Amino acid sequence: MSGTEDDPGIPDAAGAADAAGPVAAASSRAVPGRTPDPALRPARRDGGPGRPIDDGARDRIGRGLRLHYAGVLALPIPDRLRTLLDELAAHSDTEASR
């Protein structure tokens, strides 16, 4: 697995089994003498039905993502990326003039 404590990153092949995270891992374990609650199932990776998300939770998630990405968009473009974009634009201009 790669990443930091705050950002777990993308799991490698060895960590693929726990890629859904600790909540999914905990909810998928059988507890002796207890029937699992189907409402606590995590959403499936194949897009099949999982636990539905209520409108309030969906709104909170959307608001949090908008706030996070607004901060990311406000960051300056790194010099190396700016240089690459300028080179790409110059190359595109020469290709278009042929």
Contact 42, 29 (CB under 8 A): no
- How far apart, in whole angstroms, are the C-alpha atoms of residue 35 and residue 75? 49
- Asked if residue 2 lies in contact with residue 10, where contact means CB atoms within 8 angstroms, the answer is yes
pLDDT single digits (tens) 63-89: 999 999 999 999 999 999 999 999 999
The predicted-structure confidence for 36-68, as pLDDT tens digits, reads as follows: 666 666 666 776 677 788 999 999 999 999 999
**pTM beyond 0.75, yes or no:** no
CA pair distance 81, 60, nearest whole angstrom: 33
